[in-house]
Structure 1
């Protein structure tokens, strides 16, 4: 028996109010769950139409289950492991615009349609010069949305009350500003009338956002156990952690229309999402990047094991609380609370997060996630943060490509890989040679956007730690910080 409206006794139909680009696990575990909660607890009385943003996708599978799916939330709550599940019934249908473009366009003619949500990956919000307004559909997401918005404007003769709130969830800075910029660029190129541009600017809103929830997705390894527990087959099961945070630069009207905070959801309506984005990138993402090479070379394979390890776990907490948090401008109490939540999330017993899965493109990640903390710490304190410098040394050691006798499956930018390979190949392991490796890495301006050898004390600190790692091994070197 498969999950469907025939087999689910609680099935309800709601007016279609939300157009959503993306049918993947994250949006279904995050935004769709929130609208589901708003229906239950606030009488929102709305459903989501899901649009498949690329040619190949899963809306057909979603439609086979009438938009229904089971959501499992599993993680630590107040220090205790908790698992819960419920059926989410907020999706009315899925549309593949590559198969039925007119059905997609027709949704813009629905007077009750009010919100546009998207998560089309970081590459989704981009300008494609080959897109045309006559394409059915255009290739890029912004072009699809531009055609949809123009059809809505035309259908309702520019009625300001038929404007929509556009809330992208792509993980790029100023996601809404970038999306609007591309749509206006397309409107100009395509010769759309000035009235449409005025309507877009005055009747529609674009809200920059930050989203945060770990979503492992479809629980393939335990689906047989889940099917037995549920008593029906669900091909769209999705798993996520209880923690969730949605920060939205929302106009007052949107806050009134979507009162997520009033029903207990962690949605923050703010004037500027930047400090929250910086907090997440520096603490959560920065902690991951700081941890990976140290823990892996120590002999650990998962995030949870690392955090719970008496030595590696202490190293990570010291890096966060003593070196990252002092570089941020939000209230200290708020930052420490967020950091403690992050550590609990890393300890989630239901998620097996492999360190190697986070190691992809470590150099670009270090530049965006950790380097800003090093530079800001140096600026504020006048010294080099030793735990973060140790992580940089460990990253250099990691790219030597060996953990004992075991080869490390390195995966990074080709130029960065070649630089490290060449640097290590010419090193004889002496202190002088290791300093030359460090000098080459710190001087790699293509990655750092600057020459890090010019940061007073950084080369010396990283070299010292790299010498200790190479001479004594990670287990001894970490104790010498």
Structure 2
């Protein structure tokens, strides 16, 4: 069977959309699964739906990567978008042709080619996803390094080369998962401008002619077909070998912070894609953290104690699904600043995403560091609801008790791996968190539930405040924990649903 390339597709009589030749309008730092299932997909759709007519040049951010594989396949790869949309199962396949080539800047020839792209007339966008650790200022990087170690230093070199060529500024779209990613990237670039003693004219061009955008990306990308038999079946169906098959969920949104003119310049709106340009991505990050991530942390510890292991299976349980939906729609959404209809639609999509038939998302993987997660994802919603409504949100309050129950269910031992507990169905599990958190819970094994709740809620290192000062919260947490211990987590969740709507 032949390797995927344009000639292979032509021989096979492929009839899907392809764009073989187009100007190289994007320089993309990062060639991994996420960007190929996310940004390169958006640009590919823009080519088909909006006639954008552009290609992406990928840059391998570290010395080892996918450059050779990508170039061997002429930038082509098969993308499967799988999941549920509006309650319906989706399994869509698309050959992505928005990538022209990949460069490894740790090889001199490719480093020079990267600079040629930087100075090219067609270049309009620079995209990056170099992991959360990628946007860092490393003072050891020098202007003469080919290439420097840090991504911001590489970017500074690229922009300097473009400025010296007399080209106009570019739009920089940062996709790293840190707050204010675009602003942080620009800050690092300015540090290199100062460190390297670069000209004031270049600094003005970077800060005035270039547009650094903070963005918020949202798509789960498993990245590969893990089942060998399924991979072989798909290869047989496709009629070609593809070493770069990529898999993502069907849901995807790319919130881009930028000026109004950027919405017209970017090809995404014309292509009907979910890539809104907004003046501030902060509310959208809050939406994602409070609804999507908050849903996970809100129901998963209790669902695990109730005997479930996979997120999808929880969505088939009317009690757990009802608990999650009531928490989101009645307690979390009222605390958020965006349009109610937008928030409701996002929350509805969460149910589809969690019910993805193609992803076995283990509950235990979600419970990692649940203390800091509950503080960041759920506590703000509970506090804001209590302050504005003058009463406790019952599901969020129950989620806190479920968190405590998960960390203290029949504690067996404290090992190097974590806190070993036992759930009601009998099997042991290991809680993973900061060592001081685990030591705290281990030191309180055997105390009464009331004492445990009080000690947890007054631990300001955990929560940044004394949660017993929230009216009625300590009593509710103790009662909820007692119910989880005696009746089970599922029955405790059901009790929340039995309460009248408020």
TM-score by length of 1: 0.94
Which segments of 5 or more consecutive residues in structure 2 lack a partner in the other structure? 11-17, 409-420, 497-502
1:470 maps onto 2:485 in alignment: yes
What pairs with 1:286-365 in structure 2 (closer than 5 Å)? 286-365=294-373
Q: 2:441 aligns with which of 411, 417, 420?
A: 420
Q: Deviating runs (4+, > 3 A) in structure 1? A: none
Q: 1:369 aligns with which of 366, 377, 398?
A: 377
Does the 8 A contact of 1:122 with 1:171 survive in 2?
Answer: yes
Q: 1:406 aligns with which of 414, 427, 431?
A: 427
Partners of 2:289 and 2:149 in 1: CA distance: 30
Q: Deviation digits for residues 283-327 of structure 1, max 9, x if unmatched?
A: 111101112101111111111111220111111111111111111
The 1:328–1:127 alpha-carbon spacing in structure 2 relative to 1, beyond 3 Å, is same
Q: Quote the residue 1:210 is aligned against.
A: 216
Q: Quote the residue 1:24 is aligned against.
A: 32
Q: Deviation digits for residues 213-262 of structure 1, max 9, x if unmatched?
A: 22221112121121111111111111122222111122244322223122
Partners of 2:47 and 2:313 in 1: CA distance: 39
Partners of 1:447 and 1:99 in 2: CA distance: 47
Q: Deviation digits for residues 343-400 of structure 1, max 9, x if unmatched?
A: 1221122222211222222122112111110111111111221211211111122123
Does the 8 A contact of 1:288 with 1:358 survive in 2?
Answer: yes
Does the 8 A contact of 2:263 with 2:276 survive in 1?
Answer: no
Q: Per the alignment, in what secondary structure is the counterpart of residue 84 of structure 1?
A: strand
Q: 1:443 aligns with which of 454, 458, 461?
A: 458
Partners of 1:24 and 1:215 in 2: CA distance: 10
How far apart are residue 421 of structure 1 and its match?
2.2
Q: Quote the residue 1:6 is aligned against.
A: 7
Q: 2:404 aligns with which of 396, 401, 405?
A: 396
Q: Deviation digits for residues 97-150 of structure 1, max 9, x if unmatched?
A: 223333333322222111011112222222223222222222221111112111
Q: Quote the residue 1:163 is aligned against.
A: 169
Q: Quote the residue 2:284 is aligned against.
A: 276
Does the 8 A contact of 2:37 with 2:247 survive in 1?
Answer: yes
Q: Per the alignment, in what secondary structure is the counterpart of residue 85 of structure 1?
A: strand
The 1:396–1:99 alpha-carbon spacing in structure 2 relative to 1, beyond 3 Å, is farther
Q: Per the alignment, in what secondary structure is the counterpart of residue 74 of structure 1?
A: strand
The range that moved more, 194-203 or 322-331, is 322-331
How far apart are residue 16 of structure 1 and its match?
0.9
How far apart are residue 63 of structure 1 and its match?
1.9
Q: Per the alignment, in what secondary structure is the counterpart of residue 144 of structure 2?
A: coil
Q: Per the alignment, in what secondary structure is the counterpart of residue 63 of structure 2?
A: coil
How far apart are residue 70 of structure 1 and its match?
0.3
Partners of 1:183 and 1:442 in 2: CA distance: 43
How far apart are residue 11 of structure 1 and its match?
5.7
What pairs with 1:164-243 in structure 2 (closer than 5 Å)? 164-221=170-227, 222-243=230-251
Q: Quote the residue 1:87 is aligned against.
A: 95
The 1:421–1:96 alpha-carbon spacing in structure 2 relative to 1, beyond 3 Å, is farther
Which segments of 5 or more consecutive residues in structure 1 lack a partner in the other structure? none
TM-score by length of 2: 0.90
Q: Per the alignment, in what secondary structure is the counterpart of residue 233 of structure 1?
A: coil
Partners of 1:413 and 1:62 in 2: CA distance: 40
The size of the alignment, in residue pairs, is 471
Does the 8 A contact of 1:115 with 1:164 survive in 2?
Answer: yes
Partners of 1:246 and 1:176 in 2: CA distance: 14
